[in-house]
A and B are shown apart, each in its own frame.
Chain A
Amino acid sequence: MGLIAKNLARTYRTGLWKEKCIFRGVTFELKSGKTFGLMGPSGEGKSTLGRIVAGLEKPTEGTVCFNGKPLSGMKKAEYAAFRRSVQMMFQDPTEAFNPRKRIEQSIFEVLNLLKTPETEHALRTKKMLETVGLSEELLFRYPSQLSGGQLQRLALGRILLLEPEYIVLDEPTSALDVSVQAQVLHLLKRVQAEQKIGYLLISHDEAVVHFMADSYGIIKNGQLNITDA
């Protein structure tokens, strides 16, 4: 069980007859409570791979299996369960929330999506803020009035509301400075220990991957080489 990527390949069409292959034959498995690090030079398709695993894009070849079932050909209910269980966190915290909405609104929308009764909204939001270590006062601000670290923590908190099993972390700390990086990474570790979430950590920073990952792979020339840490 778990989230398994089988033989993934992705090619882009560069001309009428020409195609460029970014990666091919990529196979790995995400286990709950463990972190798989993904490294590689820029332009090797790390983020694309992350989006494919999160189900936002389709691979050219291969399949992503969730709990033993391939993503393509899932029934609606199964896909909804997958959609809830696999989340993605993005690199740029300033873009993580809609600039036209207060943080509160962005979070309540997720709670509405989960069909949480409105009387419990405040309570669940408070709990979530406690988990990520932020004060309630932030709820009434707009994203542009918050710092990158705060936004990234809020983004993580919002994802945690969905109680996911796996999170794809697409360079979650590369837009933050060093001290904030450490805070966010520790928070991620703590949350993982508490809720047994499996991470796919995409990063070009070796130190970050070594700190977080139980095993890691390096994408180079379109191939993935896996090493146990």
Chain B
Amino acid sequence: MMQKEAYLQESTRRWKDSIAHYLNFDIWKYERTLKKLNREGLFLFAFFLVLALFPSLFAPYSPTERFISYESPSIAHLLGTNDIGNDILSELVYGTRISMMVGFASACISTLIGLMIGLCSGYFRGTLDELLMGFTDVVLTIPKIPLIIILGAFLHPSIWTLILVLGLLSWESIARVVRSKTLQIREAGYVKSARCMGFSSFHIMRSEIFPNLTHVLLPKFMLATASAMISEASLSFLGLGDISMKSWGIMLSFAFSRGGFIRDMGWWYIPPGVCITLCVMSIALIGFGFEERDKERGNRGVDAE
């Protein structure tokens, strides 16, 4: 038995070594860094991701199926039913996808805008830099939530406007980080020699600078996702969300406005709150993990990589 175990361990080690050898891909290094990322965060996030991707596997009923309203938790309905008799657990599971989609989609938009603006102003410097950074400062001073509330009131409240507005208003910190990193990288020898050899600015930005920005972009992207999810939840709670797409924030809002709090139905309003907290926390933890890794690498210097 012992021998067999030892053999199995040895064979997996060999297998990984051969992959590392043939693909020139250092698996052991990645395993070590993966351990350093916050494990709990990764597990939680994986759990929510599976929920979001395959809700039908976990939800006992369809979210639109109707039963007796205001039921307490029972075996048939683990978290009871709401005011119109939908199963709350099913609603919760299907809500994952919407909440996470809003978070990731708006973080994608904001990261993309931040990357463009930061790269351009950091690489070209001069007047363009002054203009773009001035614009960034102006956007930075706009109070987000009040503006979104006003926009939400004027525009038709839908999930897409929410994604767009959240994405368009949260790129400034990313732009600044990208700009400062770009300013640093553009002085490196390989960028200067690429300029000397006559590569186009676009090529230099895309192929020389961008690959070296990923480790500052990833944590920023994760944190932007987390904050977009929180913003979405708070806006939905205020009634500015899309009622046709039930996210966790909308569930909370309905629990508040349709008698969940008055009837003291903790099983209605606590689970979405807990889910929002845990999901945001897991994403933030992963983001912090990336940042931590980046810092460690900074301390060790390039040679130790």
Contact = CB atoms under 8 A, between A and B. Distances in A.
B303 A56 contact: no
Contacts of B197: 83-84, 87, 110, 113, 159, 162
Given A83-B198, A144-B302, A162-B197, A99 B212 contact: yes
Interface string B173-206: 0000000000000001110110111110000000
A90 B189 CA distance: 6
Interface string A38-70: 000000000000000011100000000000000
A126 interface: no
Given A100-B212, A144-B303, 16 more contacts: A56-B192, A80-B198, A86-B196, A87-B196, A91-B189, A96-B189, A96-B193, A98-B190, A98-B207, A109-B199, A113-B197, A113-B198, A144-B302, A155-B193, A159-B193, A162-B197
Contacts of B24: 102, 140
Interface of B: 24, 188-190, 192-193, 195-199, 207-208, 211-212, 302-303, 305
Interface of A: 54-56, 80, 83-84, 86-92, 94-102, 106, 109-110, 113, 140, 144, 155, 158-159, 162
Contact of A84 (B189, B192, B198): B198
A144 B196 CA distance: 22
B67 to A, nearest CB: 55
A88 B196 contact: yes
Given A100-B211, A101-B211, A155-B193, A95 B198 contact: no
A98 B208 contact: yes
A80 B196 CA distance: 10
A99 B302 contact: yes
Nearest to A110: B197
A97 to B, nearest CB: 6
A147 B268 CA distance: 63
- Chain B binding surface, main DSSP class: helix
Given A83-B198, A144-B302, A155-B193, A95 B188 contact: yes
Contacts of B192: 56, 88, 90
Given A87-B196, A113-B198, A96 B207 contact: no
A54 B192 CA distance: 11
B190 A96 contact: yes
A90 B305 CA distance: 22
Contact of A83 (B190, B196, B208): B196
B260 to A, nearest CB: 51
Contacts of A99: 212, 302, 305
Nearest to B198: A83
A109 B207 contact: yes
A32 B35 CA distance: 56
Contacts of A80: 198
B193 A88 contact: yes
B206 to A, nearest CB: 11
Contacts of A102: 24
Contacts of A94: 302-303
Contacts of B188: 95
Contacts of B208: 98
7 contacts: A83-B197, A87-B197, A88-B196, A99-B305, A102-B24, A109-B207, A110-B197
A144 B305 contact: yes
Contacts of B211: 98, 100-101
A56 B189 contact: no
A194 B84 CA distance: 87
A97 B188 CA distance: 9
A197 to B, nearest CB: 15
A56 B190 contact: no
B198 A98 contact: no
Contact of A95 (B190, B195, B199, B207): B190
B298 to A, nearest CB: 13
A56 B198 contact: no
Given A95-B190, A96-B190, A99-B302, A113 B196 contact: no
Contacts of A144: 302-303, 305
Contacts of A84: 197-198
A193 B196 CA distance: 23
A106 B303 CA distance: 19
Contacts of A91: 189
Query: Which 5 A-B residue pairings sit nearest by Cβ, starting from the closest?
Result: A95-B189, A83-B198, A100-B211, A90-B189, A98-B190
